[in-house]
Structure 1
């Protein structure tokens, strides 16, 4: 019998890539996505469930989480969130609730995308929130927790982000010079992050594991070579 996956954030940049990989992975025979809106994907393995992130009951999805690999790729921007409180809800509160539910329901593994530079006491609010959710999830003592810290994400987004588009172009142009300690600062494609997440899930290692951007790329390379 194959594995079961639950994905929160399947309509986002990394989530869309991850969903495709999971659906066509022979290791998984059921993929449940929790989202506000449909992913517009049809597949025999796929189960779509609508969720109100503000008010869902923990017991509502307990059966889906039981024994599952739970992937969390939720995230927003200050431009979309508009306030720090709204940003914190999406990037810290919701992932933490999913982590708590994973613990209570007996999920096998929990995998989450945070960000390079995540640190609770960072001078930057964005990195503070990412550091907070990492620390909060670690404190849950999940059976297996994987934290992924990608650098600048590349890929086709639904909304246009001028700053990211310009920053991505500049970073790609300079990436040839990023080697040794600078490798982790290279921009990374969303699909590469998704491949790295799936490769890590296949290891089924207990404990807490942290992957910087260059380590994610190395995981993805091994995944592609299988």
Structure 2
């Protein structure tokens, strides 16, 4: 049985991750840290779910550090947007800063497995600011030295967002249409949010048990169709 801490549990992928964690019999306890109460807690409180809600993200690290027992798995689906943050510089400070701070806190507390929902094309050397930020988050958490680090790099995340992103919604519509015609037209570049979530939870449990692909014992990067394969296990 595994204990899991989750940040980003109110977002598009994170909310599905939380649902998967709560329904998985291999998970004994879930602790979420978020700015608002996750829907899973508000709609159907679970005995194994504990939520910490605070708009002051400066308190999140101390809350994570205080969790008892220490979570064996820490999952981050936390992200923000340039618009919500008020510009890219603030987006970087929030998304990179909080992800790395909490990953470091978890590692120091004794968490064994770290799981990050990143993005396709994440690369610290990229000329694209967003891809560079994602790449730098990946490199900085890998450097912390968790027993195992799992990084999922989905392409376009298809599904329904609570907030309005008209351009992205149009592309998601195309992805949905393509998937209905034939899965092969979609799977390589777009994955459903619930599939990403299932893959993240399945991969986290495999990593905790040491059941990872050969050559990926320390860092396991999961992309595209491999995400979909893991989601079905």
TM-score of the aligned structures, taking structure 2 as reference length: 0.86
Which residue number in structure 2 is paired with residue 161 of structure 1? 165
Q: Does the CA-based 8 Å contact 1:103-1:140 persist in structure 2?
A: yes
Q: Does the CA-based 8 Å contact 2:74-2:113 persist in structure 1?
A: yes
Which residue number in structure 2 is paired with residue 199 of structure 1? 202
Give the CA deviation at 1:59.
4.1
Which residue number in structure 2 is paired with residue 32 of structure 1? 31
Residue 230 of structure 2 is aligned to residue 219 of structure 1: yes
Q: Could you say what secondary structure the match of 2:58 adopts?
A: coil
Gapped runs of 5+ residues in structure 2?
211-216
Q: Could you say what secondary structure the match of 2:79 adopts?
A: coil
Give the CA deviation at 1:106.
0.2
Cα distance change on mapping 1:142 and 1:178 into 2, 3 Å: same
Give the CA deviation at 1:121.
1.5
Give the CA deviation at 1:53.
5.2
RMSD over aligned Cα, in angstroms?
A: 2.1
Which residue number in structure 2 is paired with residue 20 of structure 1? 19
Q: Could you say what secondary structure the match of 2:47 adopts?
A: coil
Q: Could you say what secondary structure the match of 1:122 adopts?
A: coil
Which residue number in structure 2 is paired with residue 85 of structure 1? 89
CA displacement 1:136-167 (0-9 Å, x = unmatched): 01111111110000010111111121111111
Give the CA deviation at 1:7.
0.5
Cα distance change on mapping 1:138 and 1:62 into 2, 3 Å: same
Q: Does the CA-based 8 Å contact 2:158-2:175 persist in structure 1?
A: no
Gapped runs of 5+ residues in structure 1?
none
Matches of 1:67 and 1:160 in 2, distance apart?
Answer: 34
Matches of 1:39 and 1:142 in 2, distance apart?
Answer: 27
Q: Does the CA-based 8 Å contact 2:80-2:94 persist in structure 1?
A: yes
Residue 111 of structure 2 is aligned to residue 112 of structure 1: no
Which residue number in structure 2 is paired with residue 49 of structure 1? 52
Matches of 1:126 and 1:23 in 2, distance apart?
Answer: 31
TM-score of the aligned structures, taking structure 1 as reference length: 0.89
Q: Does the CA-based 8 Å contact 1:150-1:213 persist in structure 2?
A: yes
Runs of 4+ in 1 over 6 A off after TM superposition: none
